[in-house]
Amino acid sequence: MSEHALPRRAPRPKPLAHPNGWWGMALFLGSEAVLFGALLATYYYLRFKAVHWPPLGTPEPKVVLPLVLTAILVTTSVPMQLALRAAQEGRLAATRLLLAVALAVQATYFGLQIHLFLGDLAKFSPGDHAYESIYFTLVGAHHTHVAVGLLLDVWLLLRLSTGLTRYRLTGLWATTFFWHFVNGLAVLVVLTQVSPAL
Partner 1 sequence: MATTEVLGLRARERIGRLDRIWEERPGLVGWLTTVDHKRIGILYFFTTLAFFGAGGVEALLMRTQLARPDDHVLGPSRYDQLMTMHGVTMIFLFVIPMTIGAFGNYLVPLMLGARDMAFPRLNALSYWLFLGSGCLIYASVFLNMAPDAGWFDYVPLALKRYDTGLNIDFYALGLIFNGISSTVAAINFVVTIFKLRAPGMSLNRMPLFVFAILAVSLSLIFALPALTVDCVFLELQRRLGFHFFDVGHGGSALLWQHLFWFFGHPEVYIIVLPAFGIATSIIPTFAKHRMIAFPLVAMAELLVAFIGFGVWAHHMFATGIPTATLVFFAAASMMVVIPSTIQIYAWTVTVMMGKPEFKAPLLFIGGFITFFVIGGLSGIMFAAIPFDQATTDTYFVVAHFHFIIFGAAVFPILGGMYYWFPKVSGRLYHEPVAKASFWLTFLGTALTFFPMHIVGLLGMPRRVYTYQSGLGWDAYNLSETIGAFILTAGLLLIFGNLVWSRFRGPPAGPDPFYGGTLEWATTSPPPHYNFAVIPTVTSPYPNWDRDDRAEDARKLEAGELVLEEGHETPASTVRDGYLDEVLEMPSESWWPLTLGVFVTLLFVMLLLAHFVVAGIFGALCVLALGGWHAQEPAEA
10 near partner 1 (CB under 8 A): yes
Distance CA 195, CA 197 (A): 5
**Size of the chain in residues:** 198
Q: Binding pattern to partner 1, positions 89-108, x when CB under 8 A?
A: --------------------
Distance CA 106, CA 83 (A): 15
**DSSP characters over 101-116:** HHHHHHHHHHHHHHHH
Measured from the CB of residue 186, what is the shortest distance to partner 1 in angstroms? 18
- The residue within the footprint of partner 1, chosen from 96, 129, 143, 145 (CB under 8 A), is 129
DSSP 126: T
- The residue within the footprint of partner 1, chosen from 2, 17, 122, 198 (CB under 8 A), is 17
11 near partner 1 (CB under 8 A): yes
Contact between 84 and 65 under an 8 Å Cβ cutoff? The reply is: no
Q: Binding pattern to partner 1, positions 29-58, x when CB under 8 A?
A: -xxx-xx-xxx--x--xx--xx----x---
Q: Of the ranges 68-76, 90-98, 103-111, 122-130, which one interacts with partner 1 (CB under 8 A)?
A: 122-130
Spell 101-138 as b/e; 16+ CB within 10 A means b. bbbeebeebbebbeebeeebeeebebeebbbbebbbeb
88 near partner 1 (CB under 8 A): no
Interface residues with partner 1 (CB under 8 A) are 1, 8-12, 15-17, 20, 23-24, 27-28, 30-32, 34-35, 37-39, 42, 45-46, 49-50, 55, 126-134, 137, 151, 155, 159, 165-168, 171
